[in-house]
Structure 1
Amino acid sequence: MKKAILLDIDGTLVNTKRLLTPKTKEALLACERQGMLLVLASGRPTSGLLHLAKELKMNEYGGLLVSFNGAMVIDAKTKEVLFEKVIEPEVCQAVLEHLKQFRVYPMINRDEYMFVNHVYGCEVDVHGTKKNIVQYEAKGNDYLLCEIEDLAKFCTFPLHKILSAGDPNYLREHDAEMEKPFKERLNCSFTAPFYFEFMPKNVNKKEAIEFVLDDFHISKEDIIAFGDAQNDQEMIEMAGIGIAMGNADPSLKEKADFVTKSNDEDGIAYALSVLGIIDRS
């Protein structure tokens, strides 16, 4: 029976420098050589997954790229879109108008561009260091930046998600208020301590993965999932073995079957060796 490994990206597959380490890379290549299917599942746009898919030779071995927290799924080898769901333009405009009253930095994307209110002066706490969050996000996903004075008026097209960024403590204090008008229409969740996202209703990584795994005839018992954040919970609970990273949100650790080492300690490779899937080294 074929097995699948589901991998969140930021805080899980890559370290805090957003790099795929040689040890983690080799562990996953070893799994692919055994015939296991890799699934990259992230809040990132598809463009932010392509270089990692290439490093993991998914264009040769095959696999799935789940982007925008499950709003889009593409075949890593053929680039065929297997699943897609969007937020309608009028709802996008309402969210962006609502966010104006909060101390957050909204970001939306279309094609190779990321549209923001300001490119500079957007510093937030990222893993204990102040960073320009707009440039941080654009660099990680290969976006060109474009300043737009009023995103709500500008956004006349559908979106896969709306990203808002802010200092972690501020977001924790205001996330319920930010979400309230859209709770019945959208999925809203943290994807990192400094990111709060708005996504199409009934879209999450788990739903998108279930939609496509039926075609691969893989049972839930043959799925291993790795994650670190709130938006990974459904995926972790769905898998036969759900693994939380050592750096994961405490609530996710409670839901996981196993807690491995952190993303800066090659936690994926460690867990795969503990499970006997790859050789210990």
Structure 2
Amino acid sequence: MTIKLVALDIDGTLLTSDGRVTPEVFEAIQEAKAQGVHVVLATGRPRSGVLHLLKELQLDQPGDLVITFNGGLIQDVHTGETLYEEQLSYEDYLDIEYLSRKLLVPMHAITKTGIYTANRNIGKYTIHEAKLVQSDLFYRTPEEMEQHTILKCMYVDEPERLEELLPAIPADFYERFTIVRSAPFYLELLPKTVNKGFALLQLASKLNLSPDQVMAVGDQENDQAMLEVAGLPVAMENASPELKHFAKKITRSNDDSGVAYALRKWVLR
């Protein structure tokens, strides 16, 4: 069946290792749009971290849509209208924050308007995330977070440190939250119903498309859910070995314009 919707992860997929969109990728996306294909960025980043890319890729036109917060938010890019949103409760936040102190791991919470941390000594990966997604960064105590709408929390530390703490996360956390690695140094905690796959199905339904008409392209664990639901799941050559098990196709690496290769080989006519 003809592919009519393409969901693209950003980091490690759309972008090169140094954070660029190659000319080949830009041109292939424009060709797909010209053929009536919906090209949607599906990312763990907040909206602030994708606006410049949406503009650069001309994916900010009427009818363009974007999936952010690992599936926690779907918006119309042009109007800013929210089509779908899931949030963590304040009680969820308190439990996640308490565990971070117990495990001695830096942690931050992300809202539509900024990144908030209760770590007086702000972790280097929290600072990195704020710069990466061009977000304001705030220090707030847990008590000051009650009035904020939190879409996700993140434990952030050296990869080996995150590996060490995984067995210490209580079993009930896995029942209550979606817990995924979006990068070696990021462990994300989201509402249980939230993942890129569920958001992608919501989006396909809104566009009156079947899963067979959807291609999803990614490279990390947090992309697994959307590869599982897409009719054509594609992993980058640089993807984790685990993710490649869920792909029907392997494209070139992000540094070799793998998104462009996938679009030209399996989407463009």
TM-score, normalised to structure 2's length?
Answer: 0.92
Residue-by-residue CA offset, 1:214-245 (whole Å, 9 max, x unaligned): 12111111111100111111111211111101
Whether 1:234 aligns to 2:230 is no
1:155 aligned residue: 145
Taking a change above 3 Å as real, the CA distance of residues 110 and 224 of structure 1, as seen in their structure-2 partners, is: closer
Letter in 1 for 2:73: M
Give me the whole-angstrom Cα distance separating, in 2, the residues matched to 1:68 and 1:276: 26
The DSSP-based 3-state class of the residue aligned with 1:255 is coil
Give me the whole-angstrom Cα distance separating, in 2, the residues matched to 1:173 and 1:111: 30
1:146 aligned residue: 138
Letter in 1 for 2:48: S
Whether 1:167 aligns to 2:175 is no
Residue-by-residue CA offset, 1:70-92 (whole Å, 9 max, x unaligned): 11100122221000110110111
The DSSP-based 3-state class of the residue aligned with 1:233 is helix
**Is the 1:175–1:196 Cα contact (8 Å) retained in structure 2?**
no
The DSSP-based 3-state class of the residue aligned with 1:12 is helix
Whether 1:133 aligns to 2:133 is no
- For residue 210 of structure 1, report the CA deviation from its aligned partner: 1.2
Residue-by-residue CA offset, 1:24-53 (whole Å, 9 max, x unaligned): 111111111111001111111111121111
**Is the 1:8–1:41 Cα contact (8 Å) retained in structure 2?**
yes
Give me the whole-angstrom Cα distance separating, in 2, the residues matched to 1:38 and 1:78: 17
- For residue 160 of structure 1, report the CA deviation from its aligned partner: 0.6
- For residue 107 of structure 1, report the CA deviation from its aligned partner: 1.5
> How many residues were matched structurally?
267
Residue-by-residue CA offset, 1:83-133 (whole Å, 9 max, x unaligned): 0110110111111111112243212233433222458773xxxxxxxxx32
2:9 aligned residue: 8
TM-score, normalised to structure 1's length?
Answer: 0.88
Whether 1:57 aligns to 2:58 is yes
1:21 aligned residue: 22
- Structure 1 stretch 51-60 or stretch 87-96: which is displaced more? 51-60
Give me the whole-angstrom Cα distance separating, in 2, the residues matched to 1:14 and 1:33: 21
**Structure 1 residue runs of 4+, over 4 Å off?**
117-121
Report matched runs for 1:1-281 at 5 Å: 3-60=4-61, 62-117=63-118, 122=123, 132-148=124-140, 150=141, 152-156=142-146, 157-178=148-169, 180-275=171-266, 277=268
Letter in 2 for 1:251: E
Letter in 1 for 2:231: G
**Is the 1:92–1:158 Cα contact (8 Å) retained in structure 2?**
no
Taking a change above 3 Å as real, the CA distance of residues 107 and 18 of structure 1, as seen in their structure-2 partners, is: farther
* Identity between Structure 1 and Structure 2 (%): 34
- For residue 61 of structure 1, report the CA deviation from its aligned partner: 5.8
- For residue 207 of structure 1, report the CA deviation from its aligned partner: 0.9
Structure 2 unaligned residues grouped into runs of 5+: none
Give me the whole-angstrom Cα distance separating, in 1, the residues matched to 2:120 and 2:237: 33
**Is the 2:217–2:259 Cα contact (8 Å) retained in structure 1?**
yes
